[in-house]
Structure 1
Amino acid sequence: MKTRRTILKATAGIALGFALGSPFVFAQDKGTVGVAMPTKTSTRWVSDGNSMVAALAAKGYKTDLQYADDDIPNQLAQVENMITKGVKVLVIAAIDGTTLSNALQKAADKGVKVVAYDRLIVGSKNVDYYATFDNFQVGVLQAQSLEKALGLKEGKGPFNIELFGGSADDNNAFFFYDGAMSVLQPYIDKGKL
């Protein structure tokens, strides 16, 4: 939770910095920040979206928060619509970080700053900031939980486990996996897993 608050503060701070640096922002209207989240079916994304809206509103910003129902064309259309409506900053938790390059070029052409939130957006030079967690450490923590629950440090085992590595188009999945394997690989090598 502390990490999420830090990221939300950082995101709000980035938006504030852009707005304060812009000659087009007036005291009564600091502008709108577009927030593009992947889905409402996960409590995590709903919580993050609501927290961002609250943090930005507290700083005097309007927000346009949209959820794309894990549909890539839907998220792309939402982002393009936000750009057309004149947002000053876009915060995007991309469903697929490889599909937004054309939209982000449009954002850059209009002077819109882009923050990739949690999920890296690749294939575009038009991402100004990347706000994320220490995803390697997330994998370490996941593996340590498994290590503790199975009693691996106490020599218990062997156990059969099935590893899931996440989507190949989710950049974070590689970091999660590498973090987890930094803990689990020695047990695999010893035949405990």
Structure 2
Amino acid sequence: MNTRMRRAAVVAAAGAMAVSLAACGSAKESDGGGGDSAKKGDALKIGLLLPENQTARYEKFDKVLIEKKISELTDGKATVKYQNAKQDASTQSQQADSMITNKVDVLIVDAVDSKAIKSSVQKAHDAGIKVVAYDRLAEGPIDAYTSFDNVEVGKAQGTALLKALGGKAKDGKIVMMNGSATDPNAGDFKKGAHSVLDGKVKIGKEYDTKEWKPENANANMEGAISALGKKNIVGVYSANDGMAGGIITALKSAGITPLPPVTGQDAELAGVQRVVTGDQYMSVYKSYPQEASVAAEMAVKLAKGEDLGSLATSKVDSPTTKGVPSQLVPVVSLTKDNIKDTVIKDGIYTVDEICAGKYKAACDKLGLK
């Protein structure tokens, strides 16, 4: 997706969020009927549960952006109760249960494990607390969901890898480093990537990487190099930037030069810097401000017992719940060619942040000044 199209999508989403609110009943009743919740003002208690802090985005972007938007929507009167599960599903379930006990008005949940959180989602539902699934589609009676089109993420990664390989696509084998099996998004990324790559490359090794950890990706890559041979690996599909870092370390340690193209996702600062130097071929840039804004808007509407209206532009099905009101945010493939038009233009990073220290020379070559 080009920048102009992406900008249009952001404007359209902003227009949808500006639609006047229409009350539809009580968040205290599972059927959305009238009740005390319809009288709620802006003094809301909103629970925010994020899954981990190894990926830079959650603490730096998601938390900050959601809190800021909720404050804007409620004139600073709402309270956000925040906790991070640090990649532990049982911890997140305890955090959710605690927030339910303390009677938050709504929960925003980015699940560590989409299945493990199901019982907590059910408890919230039984207590009349609405739940917004954020970034990952949790199981259970979810009331709303916002994320990116995750199949399209995988397609963007696979397409970029094929472009990087060019005529070398069938000269050797690629390694696929998928995300954690407990994350439903990882399955969508994998599905999208396979839809592009299957039949066009030879997949020598494929892994579902436990907990998305870079060190696990590094160990997997070392095993793939040993099994396939250094000269036979022509590219690596990595589902995100953190794992790409571990993969590239393994490739360098094995003395593989030049490095084969490696994909990524999340446009983490370290990932963008690797794209600048050429160590990593691409990342997937996702507009966290837009996703966070949608989640905050959904949460405030639901907490007040108001209809989501045109904010929920589509419906998705989870393994347990059909037709969850949703909004999916578009994504863009980030390469050397569009760093200036994506993460810099959107204010995610400054040129000084990207081009600090050892990255300055590479930035100069790209005209990033």
What band does the TM-score fall into relative to the shorter chain?
0.7 to 0.9
For the 8 Å contact 1:139–1:179, the answer to whether it is kept is yes
State the match for 1:177 in structure 2.
190
Q: CA deviation at 1:179?
A: 1.0
Q: CA deviation at 1:18?
A: 9.9
Matched, 1:156 2:168: yes
The separation in 2 between residues aligned to 1:19 and 1:97, in whole angstroms, is 30
State the match for 2:96 in structure 1.
79
Matched, 1:144 2:159: yes
Normalization by structure 2: what TM-score? 0.44
Alignment partner of 1:130 out of 135, 138, 145? 145
State the match for 1:168 in structure 2.
181
Matched, 1:41 2:54: yes
The answer to which structure, 1 or 2, has the higher relative contact order (CA under 8 A, 6+ apart) is 2
For the 8 Å contact 1:18–1:113, the answer to whether it is kept is no
Q: CA deviation at 1:165?
A: 2.6
Root mean square deviation, CA, Å:
2.9
State the match for 1:51 in structure 2.
65
For the 8 Å contact 2:45–2:106, the answer to whether it is kept is yes
* One-letter amino acid of the counterpart of residue 161, structure 2: L
The separation in 1 between residues aligned to 2:161 and 2:148, in whole angstroms, is 20
The separation in 2 between residues aligned to 1:19 and 1:32, in whole angstroms, is 19
The separation in 2 between residues aligned to 1:159 and 1:40, in whole angstroms, is 36
For the 8 Å contact 2:100–2:129, the answer to whether it is kept is yes
Q: CA deviation at 1:28?
A: 5.5
For the 8 Å contact 1:53–1:65, the answer to whether it is kept is no
- Structure with greater strand percent: 2
For the 8 Å contact 2:173–2:201, the answer to whether it is kept is no
Alpha-carbon spacing, 1:18–1:51, altered in 2? closer, same or farther (3 Å): farther
The separation in 1 between residues aligned to 2:23 and 2:97, in whole angstroms, is 20
1:119-174 superposed Cα distances (whole Å, 9 cap, x missing partner): 1212x2x2111211101110011112212222x2xx23413211123222221122
The separation in 2 between residues aligned to 1:33 and 1:18, in whole angstroms, is 20
Greater C-alpha radius of gyration: 2
